[in-house]
Structure 1
Amino acid sequence: MTTVHTVLGPVQADELGVVSVHEALLSVLPGAQYAHDITIDRAEAFTVLKAKLTALREAGGGTLVDATGQFHGRDLKLLEALSRSTGVHIVASTGQGPEELLGGYFLTPQTNPPTPWPAEKWADLFGKEITEGMVVPRVERRAPAGLIATAVTRSGATATDTELLRGAARAALATGVPVSFRYGSDPLAELDVVLAEGLDAGRVVVAGLDRVDAAGLAGKVAERGAYAALDHVGTEGRHDGTDHLTDAARAALVAELVAAGAGHRVLLSSSATGAAFGHPATDVAYSHVLTDFVPALRGHGLGDEDIRRLLVENPAALLTVS
């Protein structure tokens, strides 16, 4: 198969163009939609998001992956309308995590005593969003998810986080879509959990590897055959409780990875937030990688072939349903 799941249906992988592989469109901290002091105007959000996606397209972008998962504001009809009106392909995701952001139902299923959901239940939940379509609550299912996205608790994987990783890996193995997880405290050990389920490393993204505390780890992830995502391009210093590299340091790291022969396992993105409710936005343009970061990479000697591999070929290979 050479197609990718988008919100408007399957698209040939070679039609994706430049891919922003880890971003957020409408991002709502779970529960914020019920807060008395927060108003979510979807018409206004559409206008804002359309402008940002149009700027991405005009800068040369072709596809955006909304990696927010199931319950962080995912609005499939909004994403469909945005894709139609801007011409940007949108890949939506299933998945949940970390544990602290799970709803109570997923933390305390009907067992006595309450226990975390086992991997097989997560696999079934995520798998159906791929094989049957993503859920529009209480109404219908729509397009299939193109990515399983989860995150691990920053201080270290909990039992629930581990089951989430295992379940995501099983669903990916059964359906052919890739898994992306934002690492917690030990990306190599967390990657081992995913790979132990039999999933090929080339179907796995370890995100967040441009954190300051990830020094030296991107290369090790790439050595194992997984994708190393430097996915906060444009964010410098402290954000969301974590210290990130400067763009200058990121560009040097990318150049180092390419020189070491790992360029085919590197992904770039900004984790930019188009419209955020209940949490601070990552206020970086979706086009930042193209307009600001690519020139920095060229300053380190990367050429057209390198840039194409990072922004076009690697994401297409990852997102193609296997």
Structure 2
Amino acid sequence: MTGTVNTVLGPVPSADLGVVAVHERLVSVVPGAQFAYDVRIDRAEVFEAVAAQLRAFRAAGGGTVVDSTGMFHGRDVRLLEALSRATGVHLVASTGMGPEAMLGGYFLTPQTNPPTPWPADRFADLFTAEVTEGMVVPRVERRGLAGLAVTATTRGGRTATDESLLLGVARTALTTGVPASLRSDDVDDLDVVLKEGLPAHRVAVVADDPLAVVERGAYAVLTDPARVLELVDAGHAERVLLTTGGVGVSFGEDAPTASYADLTTALPRDVATQVLVANPRDLLAIEKR
């Protein structure tokens, strides 16, 4: 599939993405960690740390990194713009939020009696505006267009708010043509999105059961190259994606550090061309309906 992809510096042809590190977290801030007494976030230090990783990725043949943190998990649009300009790596940012435990009270207890979760259409309107009008820089402006809509569901069982988020992401993807991306431990969450009418090839899922994901026609996002090769050998090469599973810089959590450059040598060349170039190119290209 060819088309354009929303990057933080503007739309680019999907054919120009090159090797893609998909479903990454460049900067991750657990909501509230920025206010903790023992957490110090120096944007200059963050910039240098992430820029070094991106330069190494580019030197190894990488072209694009997709940031899947969504709206409130450390996304800094201005920082992403500066990183892309400084390193030459395309950066694709995301809209969306979740799971429920990571949402602020504003999204959990609207002024109703009794309190009820936000409806799906309200989430969809919020996310769609970030794709079509620009991502919100709090209290300042909108900058850049989100390139995908993401959410995650609660481990151990989907909540009512999680379901609203899933439907909101699906409706955003249907309206705007960007893909949807899910973190889920239950393939039933994917079924919720598909029943909304979103085609399976427009969805990427980080899930515990990747085989169930690809059998439904969606993309399975994996962190283990060996599992990628297993699915490729089983005939699912066109529905597999590889991510580092790490974080560029994180605050408020213990997370492995991402090594984007390592992705470029993680798979045999023919498999890498499919999994790291062709598949993310097809997924990320905006598909108008």
- TM band (smaller chain): over 0.9
Count of aligned positions: 286
| Offset of residue 144 of structure 1 | 0.7
**Correspondence 1:282 to 2:282:** no
**Correspondence 1:272 to 2:246:** yes
Aligned to 1:218: 210
Aligned to 1:228: 220
Q: Find the residue that maps to 2:264 and give its secondary structure.
A: helix
Give aligned-pair identity as a percent: 60
Q: Amino acid of the residue matched to residue 254 of structure 1?
A: V
Aligned to 1:97: 98
Kindly report which structure 2 residues correspond to 1:83-232, keeping only aligned pairs within 5 A, or say none. 83-184=84-185, 186-187=186-187, 189-207=188-206, 209=207, 214=208, 217-230=209-222, 232=223
Aligned to 1:257: 231
Distance 2:65 2:21 in 1: 5
Q: Find the residue that maps to 1:229 and give its secondary structure.
A: strand
TM-score normalized with structure 2 length: 0.96
Distance 1:85 1:312 in 2: 23
Q: Find the residue that maps to 1:287 and give its secondary structure.
A: helix
Distance 2:205 2:139 in 1: 33
TM-score normalized with structure 1 length: 0.86
Distance 1:56 1:256 in 2: 25
| Offset of residue 315 of structure 1 | 0.1
Q: Amino acid of the residue matched to residue 103 of structure 2?
A: L
User: What CA RMSD, in Å, does the superposition of the two structures yield over aligned residues?
Assistant: 1.2
Distance 2:258 2:70 in 1: 20
List alignment gaps of at least 5 residues for structure 1: 234-249, 299-303
List alignment gaps of at least 5 residues for structure 2: none
Aligned to 1:239: none
| Offset of residue 123 of structure 1 | 0.4
Contact 2:249 2:257 in 1 (8 A): no
Deviations 1:15-48 (A, max 9, x none): 0000000111121110111112211100111111
Please say which of residues 148-157 and 309-318 is displaced more in the overlay. 148-157
Q: Find the residue that maps to 1:283 and give its secondary structure.
A: coil
Deviations 1:215-247 (A, max 9, x none): xx32221121100110x34xxxxxxxxxxxxxx
